[in-house]
């Protein structure tokens, strides 16, 4: 049975992510500064909605240790929305340093004359023709983005700009969209990540 841990940053949508995760396993646990006892989960999810610096400040010492314990043990880690951005080096939204798992920065669409990216968007999976045979769409709400790079495994578009809708480095994934709000598309993707060897 898959054990899923949810990093509780006390920012935004953890209840909806928890409900979403219960579709994959009844064994879902919120992980906080107070309750992490060095347990390793099969899948660790970092959800988050809010500002970058608030997110960084919420990464208390035990949560920081928890995230890197999972990465070092090659357990699967998924950052969602702000959680993905926190896995990057830093953001133009704030002044604090992120976790720097992905050696890349977060930029603002407004600096490139693009609007807030909100709503359902079709995406392209990089180097995965099988997934691209069926149009895949997910629900986005964000004004800050990560540019396309070698980490990009899902490519999105806002206006004329390409951006990283999904990042990957080994067993660490970042999803800029909200799989928990993306109905069957989101469920199918998370199931694929869980099942991937």
pLDDT in tens, 11-53: 877 999 999 999 999 999 999 988 888 889 999 999 989 999 9
CB 138 within 8 A of CB 121: yes
Question: Residues of the chain with pLDDT > 70: what percent?
Answer: 97
What is the pTM assigned to this prediction?
A: 0.95
Q: Is 66 a catalytic residue?
A: no
Please pick, among 66, 70, 93, 180, the residue that the annotation labels catalytic. 180
**pLDDT 10s digits, 67-121:** 999 999 999 999 999 999 999 999 999 999 999 999 999 999 999 888 899 999 9
Answer whether CATH 3.40.50.2300 is correct for domain 4-195: no
Least-confidence region, from 19-28, 53-62, 132-141, 163-172: 132-141
The overall average pLDDT reported for the chain is 93
180 is catalytic: yes
Separation between Cα atoms, residue 48 and residue 144, nearest integer Å: 13
Q: Using CA atoms, how far apart are residues 125 and 104, in angstroms rounded to an integer?
A: 20
| Sequence ranges of the domains in the chain | 4-195
In the residue annotation, 93 being an active-site residue is answered as no
Residue 116 to residue 100: CA distance in whole angstroms:
25
Out of 18, 21, 70, 81, pick the active-site residue: 81
Angle at 172 between CA 78 and CA 1, to 5 degrees: 60
- Tell me what percent of the residues of the chain surpass a pLDDT of 90: 81
Question: What pLDDT sits at residue 130?
Answer: 53
């Amino acid at each position: 049975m898959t054990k899923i841990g949810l990093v509780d940053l006390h920012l935004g949508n953890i209840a909806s992510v928890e409900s979403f995760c219960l579709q994959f396993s009844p064994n879902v646990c919120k992980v906080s500064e107070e309750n992490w006892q060095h347990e390793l989960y099969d899948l660790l999810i970092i959800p988050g909605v809010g500002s970058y610096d608030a997110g960084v400040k919420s990464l208390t010492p035990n949560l920081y240790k928890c995230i890197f314990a999972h990465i070092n043990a090659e357990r699967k880690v998924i950052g969602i929305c702000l959680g993905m951005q926190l896995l990057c080096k830093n953001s133009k939204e704030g002044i604090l340093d992120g976790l720097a798992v992905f050696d890349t920065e977060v930029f603002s669409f407004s600096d490139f004359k693009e609007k807030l990216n909100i709503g359902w968007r079709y995406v392209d999976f990089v180097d995965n023709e099988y997934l691209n045979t069926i149009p895949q769409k997910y629900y986005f709400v964000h004004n800050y983005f990560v540019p396309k790079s070698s980490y990009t495994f899902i490519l999105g578009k806002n206006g004329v700009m390409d951006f990283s809708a999904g990042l990957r480095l080994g067993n660490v994934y970042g999803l800029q969209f909200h799989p928990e709000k993306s109905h069957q598309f989101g469920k199918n993707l998370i199931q694929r990540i869980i099942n991937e060897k």
